């Protein structure tokens, strides 16, 4: 209850989970990643992977003091791109 899912950009989706601890958000992200991987959807246009996968960035406002919504989005975006840079199909946590 209370979770919101929305397309954020071209291939980016945001999931907002109010009042959820970081550990729970990481667990949910990993479950989602595994579920998508298990579907084994072929991705013939990809030059990097045979099947569709997801790279996920996770950020929790409680990780930082006095974080703004803009900083939260920036932090999770950096985590997402770190997951992609480190090989894709993984979850990365904002630092």
Active site residues: 11
26 within 8 A of 62, measured Cβ to Cβ:
no
The DSSP element (H or E) to which 4 belongs, if any, is strand 4-7
- Looking at the DSSP assignment, which residues form a beta bridge with residue 92? 57
Secondary structure class of 39 (helix, strand, coil): coil
Secondary structure class of 57 (helix, strand, coil): strand
Strands 56-58 and 91-93: parallel
């Amino acid at each position: 209850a209370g979770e919101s899912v929305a397309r954020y950009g071209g291939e980016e989706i945001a999931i907002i989970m109010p009042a959820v601890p970081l550990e729970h958000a990481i667990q949910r992200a990993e479950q989602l990643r595994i579920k998508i991987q298990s579907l084994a959807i072929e991705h013939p246009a990809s030059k990097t992977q045979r099947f569709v996968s997801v790279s996920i960035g996770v950020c929790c406002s409680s990780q930082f003091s006095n974080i703004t919504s803009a900083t939260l989005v920036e932090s999770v975006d950096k985590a997402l791109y770190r997951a992609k840079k480190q090989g894709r199909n993984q979850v990365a946590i904002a630092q």
